[in-house]
Amino acid sequence: MKLPDAITPRINTNTALGQALISMFKSVEAELIQEKAGPGAVKIIVFGGCAVHLYTHHRISLDVDAEIYQACVPLGLDLQSLLAQVPELFVDERSARMMELNYDLQYNTSLGPIHEDYWTRSIALKEFPETSPLHIHIAAPVDIAITKLGRATDHDIGDINALLRSGFILTEDFRRLALQAIDVYVGNKEPPTSVLSNILHDYLEESDVEVF
């Protein structure tokens, strides 16, 4: 049996975590408006567990792993400090516990493989329109999966499998783009290549499908 075509990725921000993420960035947007920053002055792309949650809801994350893709801010405005100052409280729907969402200032896309076309495939959040000084994009499912091949913790592998099961990624696209990203990765190429092979082998075996 051949794998079906990929499903068009859908982002759902209506969960408690999704709303906390929007609220966090709305605080930054308000500050940029006050500073009279122009449309699209700051462009941020979100990876990590929060991005996976918006696509699959299979788990929550308390850290926002994101890259400032572009920033043209008024002199004297420290964007990094501004992001660090806006933690958001939310109630986890599963445990009913109060949680705190924080922007991770240590996150860096160079920590793992990443495909050069990741921005092109990213999806803009409608809550931050073209006229806003802040544009927030969510990395495409395949690009999130590629970045997670670097550390490959249990959470990372679980996230990749959740994205594969969602139907938002074609396995042949994942393999092709991941190998391209690993080829230019500055770290040890063997671990992410091995992780990729194992994940695809297990997923295809579990799904009882073949890639043609």
Q: Which residues pair with 136 in a beta bridge?
A: 44
CA-based radius of gyration for the chain: 18
How does residue 80 score in pLDDT terms, banded at 50, 70 and 90?
confident
**Which DSSP string corresponds to 99-146?**
EEEEE-TT--GGGS---TTHHHH-EE-TTS-TTSSEEEEE--HHHHHH
Q: Which residues pair with 114 in a beta bridge?
A: none
pLDDT digits (tens, 9 = 90+) for 29-62: 999 999 999 999 999 999 999 999 999 999 999 9
Q: Is 154 exposed, middle or buried (0-12, 13-18, 19+ CB in 10 A)?
A: exposed
pLDDT for residue 165: 94
How does residue 111 score in pLDDT terms, banded at 50, 70 and 90?
confident
Given a cut of 60, whether residue 3 has pLDDT beyond it is no
Q: What is d(CA 161, CA 6) in angstroms, rounded to the nearest whole number? A: 15
- If you average pLDDT over every residue of the chain, what do you get? 93
Q: Is 57 left (phi over 0), alpha (psi -120 to 50) or beta?
A: left
pLDDT for residue 208: 59
pLDDT for residue 4: 55
pLDDT digits (tens, 9 = 90+) for 117-175: 999 999 999 999 999 999 999 999 999 999 999 999 999 999 999 999 999 999 999 99
Neighbour order of strands in the sheet with 42-46: 66-71, 42-46, 134-138, 123-124
- Cβ neighbour number for residue 134 with a 10 Å cutoff: 22
Average pLDDT over residues 189-198: 97
- The rounded percent of the chain whose pLDDT value lies above 70 is 95
pTM: 0.93
Tell which residue, 131, 199, 135, 193, has the closest CA to residue 165.
199
